[in-house]
Structure 1
Amino acid sequence: MRISNRDDGLTHRMPAHFRHWTPSGLGMCPYDDCTTIELSYVTDETRLRQYIPEEFTITRPVLLIMYEKCNGVQWMGGSQYSLIAVSVQVQYTAGSEPIDGVYHLVLWENKAEPILGGREEAGMPKVFADIPEYRRIGDNLSVNASHEGRTFFEMELSIGRAYSADELATLNTNNGRAVQFGWRYIPKIGPYAGPALSEATYYPVDNTYTSASVCTGSVTWTVPSLPQHPTQHDIIAALAALPVREYLPGSLRKGTSTMRMDLARSLP
């Protein structure tokens, strides 16, 4: 076996001498039971712009924050994990046709397997955090994330009215597709500047929502000192520094998701 053979017709995943399959093995990945809690707020576009690659145009200066509890993850043997995504609505304008979607600034997840696959193969900016399951008391929801026992993110929401049948149908239009953009950056090995690979990526997700409700809420960032969290201090500090101009209506949604790795690709 020669791992260095780039034309062997196989997809490899580390450790590459054990793990390889035909590209068709990277297909549709069902998630049987997902709870999504989302809140967003208007922020300063000029300050936000510094974190968005020039290949993308910001369509709204809004920070989207999404918590998701994923159960019945089939490619993980029916297991589960949780994530918190911080994203911006953008349009990719560097190709022959514009594409609308969300550019992920960071994705926190609480298990290694989805982090490794999403980073290496789809360019999603995934890092680890401790993310307990969301809490619900009556119509109040609570989400938090921490590292080494230090909480750096909290989101508190109140559940309002349920979506109408028409609103739910709109959510499910076009298979409920959400287009994700990322940036796959792999640095050179050793003390050498620059990337071994640097490219924009496209990775859609299809959703089928069975219920949804409007929510209102707020977000609290607690920035750790550099010694307390040296590997993610810059991420948290940058997000916390973006001003909250206006909170927009959020949502609580339940349904299923399908990761469309079969449609994922690098962008020109």
Structure 2
Amino acid sequence: MNRLRNDHLYMMPAHFGGKPGGMTATTYHDTVSATIRYETDQDALEALIPEGFELRSAEIMVAAMMNRGVEWMAGEPYNIVAVNAPVRYRKASPNIDGWYSLVVWENKTTPILPGREQTGIPKIYSEIEEFRFLGDEMRTWAHYGGHSFCDLHFSNIREASADERRQVDDEFRTMNWMAWRHIPKPGEGGGASLSEATLFPQEFESSRVRLADASCVWSTPPFWKNPIQAHIIARLESLPIVSPVGPAIIMNAKNILRGDLAKLLD
């Protein structure tokens, strides 16, 4: 009989075997991130935040990322559009401040599966364009089945001053990324086999920081064009963009995912 060991890490299908030990830290050696932050409606955003968390501010962070030199994927690249909200986890002592992951789109299946199963990051698939730099502008967008649902435009791009870069480094050097891992129960009746809060810390070591003006446009597709994601995009589009929070940030960095520090929050 094939027995799974408690001191091994497995991914489905687990019966083919796992590896000794648990999650480890892994490095993304060449990451370019483009981040927009904006104020939104407090009540509308709070409705998306689960029990145990509280908003630190009514704010959305949309981060597009091009990941290269991905250590655990033998250098294979992939792109991301992640949507986060600033939260405090109140059930821990002391409380934990960080960013709650509302949704993450990725353009490769390989990073989606362990992100969902191991750490509960709500990853789903879309096509995500390479960053298009031209002069002092940059554009990228996410689309599915030919329909663009998130368009990001960065303009007036400039190098950060020494003080501005220091502020960015202080904010992003360590990042508590939190999420909710939900595994539905099979069969009739609904419910969950697993439903729990998680923590997946990250670290960023910047090599270049630029600042910019930026805009984010959400476009909800009709149901038949994106039946699994349309309700997610519609909810994000319904969150009003009240005003930007500081300048947009374009950062070249080494990104270290601290799988060794990932844990359940309870």
Q: What TM-score does the superposition give when structure 1 sets the normalisation length?
A: 0.95
Native 8 Å contact 1:38 1:65 kept in 2: yes
Distance, in Å, in 2 between the alignment partners of 1:8 and 1:91 is: 31
Q: Does 1:187 align with 2:184?
A: yes
Distance, in Å, in 2 between the alignment partners of 1:33 and 1:81 is: 11
Q: Does 1:2 align with 2:2?
A: yes
Which of 81, 86, 90 is the equivalent residue of 1:84? 81
**SS of the counterpart of 1:258?**
strand
CA shift, 1:175, in A, is 8.0
**SS of the counterpart of 1:206?**
strand
Identity of aligned residues (%): 34
In structure 2, stretches of 5+ residues that fail to align are: none
Distance, in Å, in 2 between the alignment partners of 1:87 and 1:103 is: 5
Native 8 Å contact 2:136 2:158 kept in 1: no
Give CA deviations for 1:26-64 in whole Å, capped at 9, x if unaligned. Answer: 211110100000011110000111100121110110111
Distance, in Å, in 2 between the alignment partners of 1:192 and 1:51 is: 23
Look up the match of 1:104. 101
Distance 1:170 1:40, change over 3 A: closer
Which of 254, 257, 262 is the equivalent residue of 1:256? 254
What root-mean-square deviation, in Å, do the aligned CA atoms of Structure 1 and Structure 2 show?
1.5
**SS of the counterpart of 1:238?**
helix
Alignment of 1:109-128 (within 5 A): 109-128=106-125
Native 8 Å contact 1:88 1:105 kept in 2: yes
**SS of the counterpart of 2:91?**
coil
Which of 165, 168, 176 is the equivalent residue of 1:168? 165
Native 8 Å contact 1:64 1:88 kept in 2: yes
Distance, in Å, in 1 between the alignment partners of 2:221 and 2:172 is: 40
Look up the match of 1:156. 153
Native 8 Å contact 1:205 1:257 kept in 2: yes
Native 8 Å contact 1:171 1:209 kept in 2: no
**SS of the counterpart of 1:13?**
coil
Amino acid at match of 1:262: D
Structure 1 runs of 4+ with >2 Å offset:
164-175
Alignment of 1:208-247 (within 5 A): 208-247=205-244
Distance, in Å, in 2 between the alignment partners of 1:10 and 1:127 is: 26
CA shift, 1:174, in A, is 8.8
Native 8 Å contact 1:89 1:102 kept in 2: yes
CA shift, 1:169, in A, is 3.3
In structure 1, stretches of 5+ residues that fail to align are: none
Distance, in Å, in 2 between the alignment partners of 1:149 and 1:174 is: 36
Look up the match of 2:128. 131
CA shift, 1:164, in A, is 2.2
Which of 125, 128, 138 is the equivalent residue of 1:141? 138
CA shift, 1:171, in A, is 3.4
**SS of the counterpart of 1:60?**
coil
Distance, in Å, in 1 between the alignment partners of 2:6 and 2:28 is: 31
